[in-house]
Amino acid sequence: MGPEVPREGAEGEEEMKTKMTMRREHRFPHSLVWTPIPLVTWIFPFIGHMGICTSSGIIRDFAGPYLVSEDNMAFGHPTKFWQLDPRLASNNWDNSIAEASEEYKHRMHNLCCDNCHSHVAMALNLMRYGGGADWNMVRLCFGMLLRGQYVSFLGFVKTWLPFSVLVGVAVVVAVALKMS
């Protein structure tokens, strides 16, 4: 008998199994991750809590004053992720995340201007991701909105169901008021 010929699509199947396992274990190497913030995301579904993952998929997020957590996101497991290309980082990926995290361990959390998005932006700026140092909260918010993928259907539901219910209730109330 001759050498074993690999089945067509075998690599694709292995890759798919690996991706499913990583999603189940909440591991997203070289990615930005996002999860809804109760009440805030219900009203503005594009606003949520963000973290950045190391090359091994460990999540680092600025979770509160003087606190950068590791694999324990402030508002639960990620519902979305934005896969980045580590080859676009001019400086070391993991070292940049560690440096940004160390800096944010000494900062007070401010919901409007020095928050989880700022921590992620600092890490991307330190690694000079994409050749520049112009990452900020707004760019990250829109990037996640446009390029982020849902971890699962449940992640999509967790993000959009509360907003949809609120809009539905508002429409019903508006119609009821107009009819009376």
What is the per-residue pLDDT across 130-157, written as a single tens digit (0 to 9) for each?
Answer: 998 999 999 999 999 999 999 999 999 9
151-165 mean pLDDT:
96
* Distance from C-alpha of 95 to C-alpha of 100, rounded to nearest angstrom: 9
Which of residues 60 and 15 earns the better pLDDT score? Answer: 60
- What does the pLDDT read at residue 111? 84
- Is 112 exposed, middle or buried (CB count within 10 Å of its CB: 0-12, 13-18, 19+)? exposed
For 44-151, where are the alpha helices, taking DSSP H only?
93-104, 116-126, 137-147
Please state the domain count of the chain: 1
The answer to whether residue 94 sits within a structural domain is: yes
% of the chain beyond a pLDDT of 90: 81
Contact assessment for residue 50 and residue 124, using Cβ atoms and an 8 Å cutoff? no
% of the chain beyond a pLDDT of 70: 87
The answer to whether residue 2 sits within a structural domain is: no
Report the mean per-residue pLDDT for the chain: 90
Instruction: Quote the Cα angle for 151-152-158, to 5°.
Output: 95
Q: Hey, what amino acid is at 130?
A: G
- What does the pLDDT read at residue 112? 86
Structure tokens at 84: 């980045």
User: Going by DSSP bridges, is the β-strand pair 31-36/80-83 parallel, antiparallel, or unpaired?
Assistant: antiparallel
Q: Has residue 6 got a pLDDT over 90? A: no
The answer to whether residue 89 sits within a structural domain is: yes
Residue with tokens 């009819």: 179
Domain that holds residue 23: 7-179
The answer to whether residue 137 sits within a structural domain is: yes
For residue 24, name the pLDDT band (cuts at 50, 70, 90).
low
For residue 180, name the pLDDT band (cuts at 50, 70, 90).
confident
For residue 16, name the pLDDT band (cuts at 50, 70, 90).
low
76-95 mean pLDDT:
96
Q: Strand order in 67-70's β-sheet?
A: 67-70, 59-64, 48-53, 31-36, 80-83, 149-150
The answer to whether residue 1 sits within a structural domain is: no
For residue 14, name the pLDDT band (cuts at 50, 70, 90).
low
Which of residues 18 and 86 earns the better pLDDT score? Answer: 86
| Residue 93, CB-side half-sphere exposure with 13 Å CA sphere | 20
The answer to whether residue 36 sits within a structural domain is: yes
pTM tops 0.95? no
Helix (H, G, I), strand (E, B) or coil at 33: strand
